[in-house]
Amino acid sequence: MAFRRTPSFASDRESHRDLQRMLVVGLGNPGKKYERTRHNVGQEAIDILASRHNASLKAGRDRALVAECRVHDVPVVLAVPTTYMNDSGEAVGPLARRYKVSDPSRIIVLHDELDLEPGVVKIKVGGGLAGHNGLRSISQHLKTDDYIRVRIGVGKPRSKEQGADHVLAKVSASDRQVLVEAIETAVSAVELILSIGVDEAMQRIHSQQKQ
Given the residues 39, 132, 141, 166, the one annotated as active site: 39
Quickly count: other Cβ atoms within 10 Å of residue 195's Cβ: 13
Cβ atoms < 10 Å from Cβ of 177: 12
> For the chain, what is the radius of gyration of the CA atoms?
18
Could you give the 3-state DSSP secondary structure of residue 74? strand
The conformation of residue 145, written as its DSSP 8-state character, comes to S
Cα-flanking dihedrals φ and ψ of residue 47, to 5°?
-55, -40
Is 39 a catalytic site residue? yes
**C-alpha distance from residue 39 to each of 56, 70, 82, 196 (Å):** 22, 27, 14, 28
Contacts of 177 (CB under 8 A, 6+ apart): none
Give the residue numbers marked as catalytic: 39
